Structure 1
Amino acid sequence: MITVSQQPWFWPVLAIVIGLPVLLLILTEIGTHLDRRQHAAGRIVRLVRNYVLPAGALLLLIDQVTRSVGSDDFTWTKIISTVFGFLVILAVLNSFNLVLFTNAEEGSWRKRIPSIFVDIARIVLIIAGLAVLFSTVWGANVAGLFTALGVTSVVIGLALQGAVGSIVSGLLLLFEQPFQLGDWLDTGGVRGRVVEVNWRAVHIDTGNGIQIVPNASLAGAAFTNLSRGGDYTVSAEVTFTTDDPPAQVVAMLRRIALGLPELVPDTMPTAVPIGGADYRLSFDIRGPSEEGAAVARLRTWLWYAARRQGLGLDGDTTDDYATAENTAAAVASVAPALRISSDRAREVLTGAQLERYAAGETVLRIGEVPDALRFVLRGRVRLGIPLPAGGQRPVSTVETGDYLGQTALTHEPLPSTAVAMTELAVLVLPVTDLDQVIGSQPQFARDLSDVIDRRRDEALQAEAQTTT
Structure 2
Amino acid sequence: MDHLWFAYPLISASVLLIIDLVLWQWLHPRFLRRKLACRLALFVLFSMALLDGGLSPLYPVPADWPVSRHVLGTILTIAWWLFGARTLTVLAVVVMEPRIGGKGHLLQDVMGAIIFLVAVVAAAAYVLDLPVKGLLATSGAVAIILGLAVQSTLGDVFSGIVLNATKPYRVDDWIRVDDIEGKVIEIDWRSTHLLTSEGSMAVIPNSMAAKTRIVNFSRPDHFHSVTLSIELPTRLRPSLVLDSLDKAILGCRELLVTPKSSAVVVKTGLRSVEYEVTGYVKSRDRRSAVRNQLYDLIHRQLAATETRLDQSRPATRPSAVLNTVGALRMLSDEDRAQLELHMHLGAYGAKDVVLAEGIVPDALYIIESGVMSVSIQRPDGWLEIGRMGPGELFGETGFVDGTPTAGRFCAYTDCMIYRIDKADLEPWLQEHSELIGALAGLAKFRTKARASMLDVKPVITDPSGFMGWLRKNVTRFQVGRGPGVGPGPTDKMS
Q: TM-score range by the shorter chain?
A: 0.5 to 0.7
2:424 corresponding residue in structure 1: 437
2:159 corresponding residue in structure 1: 169
Give the match's secondary structure for 1:174.
Answer: helix
User: Counterpart of 1:177 in structure 2: which amino acid?
Assistant: K
Q: 1:299 to 1:14 in 2, by over 3 A?
A: closer
* Contact 1:113/1:175, CA 8 A, preserved across alignment: no
Q: 1:17 to 1:225 in 2, by over 3 A?
A: same
What is the CA–CA distance in structure 2 between the aligned matches of 1:280 and 1:11, rounded to whole Å? 88
1:223 aligns with one of 205, 214, 233: 214
User: Counterpart of 1:242 in structure 2: which amino acid?
Assistant: T
1:99 corresponding residue in structure 2: 91
1:211 corresponding residue in structure 2: 202
Q: 1:169 to 1:52 in 2, by over 3 A?
A: same
Matched, 1:296 2:292: yes
Give the match's secondary structure for 1:238.
Answer: strand
Task: Please report how far the alpha carbon of residue 219 of structure 1 lies from its aligned counterpart in structure 2 after TM superposition.
Answer: 0.9
2:234 corresponding residue in structure 1: 242
* Contact 2:251/2:297, CA 8 A, preserved across alignment: no
What is the CA–CA distance in structure 2 between the aligned matches of 1:435 and 1:93, rounded to whole Å? 82
1:451 corresponding residue in structure 2: none
Task: Please report how far the alpha carbon of residue 309 of structure 1 lies from its aligned counterpart in structure 2 after TM superposition.
Answer: 4.7
Residue deviations 1:261-320, cap 9 Å, x none? 332236542212222331111223335454333323322433454445558xxxxxxxxx
* Contact 1:233/1:285, CA 8 A, preserved across alignment: yes
* Contact 1:184/1:225, CA 8 A, preserved across alignment: yes
1:272 aligns with one of 246, 253, 264: 264
1:159 aligns with one of 143, 149, 172: 149
What is the CA–CA distance in structure 2 between the aligned matches of 1:100 and 1:439, rounded to whole Å? 76
Extract unaligned runs of 5+ from structure 1. Answer: 1-9, 63-70, 312-321, 336-341, 354-363, 377-381, 395-399, 408-412, 419-427, 444-457
Give the match's secondary structure for 2:233.
Answer: coil
Task: Please report how far the alpha carbon of residue 439 of structure 1 lies from its aligned counterpart in structure 2 after TM superposition.
Answer: 12
Matched, 1:193 2:178: no
What is the CA–CA distance in structure 1 between the aligned matches of 2:339 and 2:101, rounded to whole Å? 76
What is the CA–CA distance in structure 2 between the aligned matches of 1:435 and 1:294, rounded to whole Å? 36
Give the match's secondary structure for 1:263.
Answer: coil
1:68 corresponding residue in structure 2: none
What is the CA–CA distance in structure 2 between the aligned matches of 1:205 and 1:167, rounded to whole Å? 21
What is the CA–CA distance in structure 2 between the aligned matches of 1:329 and 1:235, rounded to whole Å? 29
Q: 1:123 to 1:236 in 2, by over 3 A?
A: same
1:424 corresponding residue in structure 2: none
Matched, 1:258 2:250: yes
Task: Please report how far the alpha carbon of residue 145 of structure 1 lies from its aligned counterpart in structure 2 after TM superposition.
Answer: 3.1
Q: 1:173 to 1:386 in 2, by over 3 A?
A: farther
What is the CA–CA distance in structure 1 between the aligned matches of 2:201 and 2:219, rounded to whole Å? 22
What is the CA–CA distance in structure 1 between the aligned matches of 2:126 and 2:66, rounded to whole Å? 16
Q: Which has the higher contact order (CA 8 A, sep 6+)?
A: 2
Task: Please report how far the alpha carbon of residue 385 of structure 1 lies from its aligned counterpart in structure 2 after TM superposition.
Answer: 2.2
2:120 aligns with one of 115, 121, 127: 127
Give the match's secondary structure for 1:282.
Answer: strand
What is the CA–CA distance in structure 1 between the aligned matches of 2:37 and 2:122, rounded to whole Å? 18
* Contact 2:264/2:277, CA 8 A, preserved across alignment: yes
* Contact 2:36/2:87, CA 8 A, preserved across alignment: no
What is the CA–CA distance in structure 2 between the aligned matches of 1:156 and 1:273, rounded to whole Å? 60
Give the match's secondary structure for 1:240.
Answer: strand
What is the CA–CA distance in structure 2 between the aligned matches of 1:127 and 1:416, rounded to whole Å? 73
Residue deviations 1:128-185, cap 9 Å, x none? 133125424xxx4454433322211112222333432333223322232221012122
User: Counterpart of 1:437 in structure 2: which amino acid?
Assistant: D
* Contact 1:235/1:282, CA 8 A, preserved across alignment: yes
Between 1:81-90 and 1:108-117, the stretch displaced more is 108-117
User: Counterpart of 1:74 in structure 2: which amino acid?
Assistant: P
Task: Please report how far the alpha carbon of residue 46 of structure 1 lies from its aligned counterpart in structure 2 after TM superposition.
Answer: 5.5
What is the CA–CA distance in structure 2 between the aligned matches of 1:141 and 1:383, rounded to whole Å? 82
* Contact 1:55/1:84, CA 8 A, preserved across alignment: no
Q: 1:57 to 1:213 in 2, by over 3 A?
A: closer
Matched, 1:115 2:105: no
* Contact 1:273/1:279, CA 8 A, preserved across alignment: yes
* Contact 1:204/1:211, CA 8 A, preserved across alignment: yes
What is the CA–CA distance in structure 2 between the aligned matches of 1:263 and 1:329, rounded to whole Å? 26
Residue deviations 1:172-226, cap 9 Å, x none? 2223222101212233412332222112111223312332221111111232222
What is the CA–CA distance in structure 1 between the aligned matches of 2:227 and 2:326, rounded to whole Å? 41
User: Counterpart of 1:219 in structure 2: which amino acid?
Assistant: A
Between 1:190-199 and 1:100-109, the stretch displaced more is 100-109
Q: 1:327 to 1:401 in 2, by over 3 A?
A: closer
Q: 1:12 to 1:279 in 2, by over 3 A?
A: same
Q: 1:232 to 1:49 in 2, by over 3 A?
A: closer
Normalising by structure 2, what TM-score? 0.57
Q: 1:434 to 1:261 in 2, by over 3 A?
A: closer
Normalising by structure 1, what TM-score? 0.60
Identity %: 17
What is the CA–CA distance in structure 1 between the aligned matches of 2:163 and 2:115, rounded to whole Å? 21
1:82 aligns with one of 74, 83, 92: 74
What is the CA–CA distance in structure 1 between the aligned matches of 2:326 and 2:179, rounded to whole Å? 55
Extract unaligned runs of 5+ from structure 2. Answer: 56-62, 308-318, 356-362, 368-372, 387-391, 400-404, 411-415, 431-446, 456-494
Q: 1:405 to 1:121 in 2, by over 3 A?
A: same
User: What pairs with 1:14-413 in structure 2 (closer than 5 Å)?
Assistant: 15-16=6-7, 38-42=31-35, 45=38, 49=42, 53=46, 56=49, 60=53, 74-104=66-96, 106-107=98-99, 114-136=107-129, 140-208=130-198, 209-230=200-221, 231-265=223-257, 268-274=260-266, 275=268, 276-286=272-282, 288-310=284-306, 346-347=337-338, 349-350=340-341, 367-369=352-354, 373-374=364-365, 384-385=375-376, 392=384, 403-404=395-396
Give the match's secondary structure for 2:293.
Answer: helix
Give the match's secondary structure for 1:132.
Answer: helix
Task: Please report how far the alpha carbon of residue 41 of structure 1 lies from its aligned counterpart in structure 2 after TM superposition.
Answer: 4.6
Residue deviations 1:313-352, cap 9 Å, x none? xxxxxxxxx88997999769789xxxxxx98875353476
What is the CA–CA distance in structure 2 between the aligned matches of 1:269 and 1:239, rounded to whole Å? 19
